[in-house]
């Protein structure tokens, strides 16, 4: 098995190879680092590569197994981490230049991955404080889509998505405060599940953008995502939100048929004034046909989306303010971020608290659609991945307008907290991936995972690689 085959074997297969002694953790990490060295100069997916540290961690895993220690479920798997999550010994930059001091300890999500045997190979790029669905920053430049390096990988977890799509890491952690896992997954041909609010701990912080944000992985397959969620799921001390337990484990769900479900579909965006690209509508209808062939009752619905502006905008501004308050050099934040922080002054903490409560009321209305259906199917994004440079010369307001087609289907479900996944749906005429979004009832990731796995089985997507990565 050459390095490309090895790194693309996926989480389950890699961990099995290491557990059985067929491959060492060091060999896996060396394969990942070699691909990073060869390809990342074209992508800009990594803010920092932890080559020496990752090899030392891999050697320690190998030595522990040789001494009789049990292997973890992610034994030796090379993972990347978005630069809003703490990794011991590395600066958490939030995509900017205003922080300088390395983190003293891992965030809870990173700690759990390492405890399960994963090895952190580096930290990935993001727009400053994750504000935009384009991975561009004054500090670190453009991150590029592996399918077409002139195009955006989406954002804000675009570095994580580009790294996984190009096989630089087997999986990568990101965050989703308005679509920041699902949008780059859609642009890069990956699977990403935004979990129910409170499913994955945000510690050491009590929240991620208040009620909007969640932590989760980007992977090439549904099962890989499920294996990581079985490790990541569960609260920690200090978390502001906690999700109810799922019916089964995530990996069990990925391997279990759901039975016949009622699935509603709609191409209507939740953001007014946005029109979906025709190829995204065609991908939606192709998925409807696939689901009907799988035996599901699939019908058009009008979701009657509430206007979530009053809930989303104050939490967005308050979330950026919360993260920016901890920077060491606030004078070095970007001009756009300073404009966001000026806006955030209009939404002090009592206003943010009211926005959270407003979001809870909107969730009741948005979830009325699930009285008639088990899942909702929509496009993931309205626009095709555009050229890099989307933020060039743009202030905060213009950047927000340019972002709207990318978040038109996703941000609502951050306000409500529902689980929602971006599922690959083939390729467009431009050679870039297409995707659809599956939205589940509150706390019901299980059904989303089951149906996503069904779609993957009938139209596999993980075997195709960008030309850059071959």
**Strands, E assignment, 266-360:** 297-300
First to last CA, the chain: 14
Are the beta carbons of 267 and 378 closer than 8 angstroms?
A: yes
Quick one: which of 191, 145, 156 has its CA closest to 435?
191
Q: Tokens 């920077």 identify what position? A: 327
The verdict on whether 32 is a catalytic residue reads: no
Q: From the candidates 107, 156, 157, 422, which is the catalytic residue?
A: 156
Quick one: which of 52, 63, 60 has its CA closest to 89?
52
Q: From the candidates 137, 180, 201, 403, which is the catalytic residue?
A: 180
118 preceded by a cis bond (ω within 30 of 0): no
- Cα torsion angle, 68, 72, 78, 84, sign: negative
Continuous H helices in 118-273? 158-165, 182-188, 222-232, 250-254
Q: What is the DSSP letter of 445?
A: H
Q: From the candidates 82, 160, 225, 266, which is the catalytic residue?
A: 82
With a CB cutoff of 8 Å and minimum separation 6, the contacts of 359 are: 211, 308, 311, 312, 315, 415, 416, 417
The verdict on whether 194 is a catalytic residue reads: no
The verdict on whether 156 is a catalytic residue reads: yes
| Tokens standing for residue 150 | 């002139």
Residue 61: other Cβ atoms inside 10 A: 25
Are the beta carbons of 48 and 140 closer than 8 angstroms?
A: no
Active site residues: 82, 156, 180
């Amino acid at each position: 098995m050459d390095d490309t085959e090895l790194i693309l074997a996926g989480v389950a297969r890699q961990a099995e190879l290491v557990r059985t002694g067929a491959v060492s953790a060091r060999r896996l990490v060396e394969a990942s680092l070699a691909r990073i060295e060869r390809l990342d100069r074209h992508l800009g997916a990594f803010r920092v590569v932890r080559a020496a540290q990752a090899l030392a961690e891999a050697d320690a895993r190998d030595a522990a197994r040789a001494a009789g220690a049990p292997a973890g479920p992610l034994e030796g798997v090379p993972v990347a981490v978005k630069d809003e999550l703490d990794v011991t010994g590395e600066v958490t930059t939030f995509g900017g230049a205003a922080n300088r001091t390395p983190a003293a300890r891992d965030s809870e999500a990173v700690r759990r991955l390492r405890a399960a045997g994963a090895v952190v190979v580096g930290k990935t790029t993001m727009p400053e404080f994750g504000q935009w669905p384009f991975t561009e920053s004054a500090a670190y430049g453009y991150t590029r889509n592996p399918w077409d390096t002139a195009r955006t990988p989406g954002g804000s977890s675009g570095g994580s998505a580009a790294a996984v799509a190009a096989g630089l890491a087997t999986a990568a952690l990101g965050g989703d405060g308005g679509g920041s896992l699902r949008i780059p997954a859609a642009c890069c041909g990956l699977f990403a599940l935004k979990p129910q609010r409170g499913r994955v701990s945000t510690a050491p912080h009590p929240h991620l953008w208040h009620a909007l944000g969640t932590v989760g992985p980007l992977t090439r397959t549904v099962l890989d995502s499920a294996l990581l969620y079985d490790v990541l799921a569960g609260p920690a001390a200090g978390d502001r939100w906690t999700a109810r337990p799922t019916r089964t484990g995530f990996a069990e769900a990925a391997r279990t048929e759901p039975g016949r479900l009622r699935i509603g579909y709609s191409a209507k965006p939740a953001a007014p004034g946005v029109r979906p690209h025709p190829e995204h509508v065609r991908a939606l209808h192709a998925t409807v046909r696939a689901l009907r062939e799988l035996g599901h009752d699939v019908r058009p619905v009008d979701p009657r989306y509430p206007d979530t502006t009053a809930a989303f905008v104050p939490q967005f501004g308050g979330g950026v303010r919360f993260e920016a308050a901890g920077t060491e050099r606030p004078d070095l934040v970007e001009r756009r971020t300073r404009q966001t922080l000026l806006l955030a002054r209009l939404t002090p903490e009592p206003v943010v608290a009211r926005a959270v409560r407003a979001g809870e009321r909107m969730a009741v209305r948005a979830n009325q659609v699930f009285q008639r259906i088990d899942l909702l199917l929509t496009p993931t994004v309205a626009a095709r991945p555009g050229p890099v440079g989307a933020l060039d010369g743009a202030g905060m307001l213009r950047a927000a307008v340019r972002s709207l087609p990318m978040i038109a289907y996703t941000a609502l479900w951050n306000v409500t907290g529902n689980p929602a996944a971006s599922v690959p749906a083939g390729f467009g005429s431009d050679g870039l991936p297409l995707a659809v979004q599956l939205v589940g009832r509150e706390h019901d990731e299980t059904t989303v995972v089951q149906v996503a796995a069904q779609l993957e089985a009938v139209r596999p997507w993980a075997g195709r690689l960008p030309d850059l990565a071959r």
